[in-house]
Amino acid sequence: MDSKKILELKRIANDIRKESIIMTHRAQSGHPGGSLSEADILAALYFYKLRINPKNPKDENRDRFVLSKGHASPGYYAALAMRGFFPKKELETFRKLGGLQGHPELKHAGVDFAGGSLGQGICFANGLALAGKLDKKSYRVYAVIGDGEAQEGAVWEAALAAAYHRLDNLVVILDKNQVQETGKTADVMNIDPAAAKWKAFGFEVLEIDGHDTKQIVEALDRAESVKGKPVMIVANTIKGKGVSFMELNYKFHGKAPDDEQFRKAMEELEKIEGSLN
């Protein structure tokens, strides 16, 4: 991929971060930290890799995406709106009755999985991938999970099943942002060595800097060439990436910024935007 496209994806990721902050501030509710850490991954998926068509969101041959860490919906909604699945104005309904809810719902165009309880999305992604195999479809399934979520037993049951069924049309991306709701993931329940564990469970494992767009794109491309087993991309990220006082701060896992914090966050993100122009 040329440098121009890489720069475009970086700009999109920054816009996803800005929209995530705007949405959570407006609603005074939501999860900004994980939305900021996943932004570069979502930009690469929705504006480079996924074979999708906003004009035909239920196309049987489309690639599927599962946000297993469904609480990080602000970033997801921002990516969907920017990709054209619904008008950006709908982002103003975040966490309002009848609008975009705190966890994704199937009633919204582009949503393939109604994220809720942690650990369930990767199980659902397994089902989508297995169905694709049985139906002889060429679509691929991508699932993003969190590192706190990887403490769930269901995640590891799904990992066993994916490898057993040789789901080489499945790519799981671990948003390893180091922090969960109550503190550092390593202090709550350490999942390391993550890469070695997923490899032991039968996955092809690629470990990258989850904020390096070039590395993300290269990993997604390489994943398509893997045959006979599923792929795990361990994306080392930073919770709250792009906003200094949110970075690695567990208090912003599920806390919206107040007016002063909003102002500071937007100033920092707009400064980043300026550096990308």
pLDDT for position 159: 98
Query: Which amino acid is it at 113?
Result: F
Tokens representing residue 247 in the block: 């970075």
pLDDT for position 64: 98
pLDDT by 10-residue block (mean), the chain, 277 residues: 94 98 97 98 98 97 97 97 97 96 94 90 98 97 98 98 98 98 97 98 98 98 98 98 98 97 98 94
| Domains identified in the chain, total number | 1
pLDDT for position 117: 86
pLDDT for position 199: 98
Report the CATH number at residue 242.
3.40.50.970
**Domain residue limits at 181:** 3-275
CA 26 to chain centre: 22
pLDDT for position 207: 98
pLDDT for position 115: 77
171 contacts 221 by C-beta, under 8 angstroms: no
Rounded Cα distance, 227 and 249, in Å: 39
Q: Are strands 179-180 and 183-184 parallel, antiparallel or unpaired?
A: antiparallel
pLDDT for position 38: 98
Q: What is the pTM of this model?
A: 0.97
Query: Which amino acid is it at 76?
Result: Y
Give 83-92's long-range contacts (Cβ < 8 A, gap of 24+).
83/46, 83/47, 83/52, 83/54, 83/110, 84/54, 84/55, 85/54, 85/57, 85/109, 85/110, 86/110, 88/19, 91/19, 91/22, 91/23, 92/26
Tokens representing residue 63 in the block: 């690639």
Element (H, E) at 65: strand 64-67
Helix axes 3-27, 213-223, angle to 10 degrees: 100
SS (H, E, C) 152-211: CHHHHHHHHHHHHCCCCCEEEEEEECCEECCEEHHHHHCCCCHHHHHHHCCCEEEEEECC
H-state helical runs in the chain: 3-27, 32-37, 39-44, 73-83, 120-134, 153-164, 185-189, 194-200, 213-223, 259-275
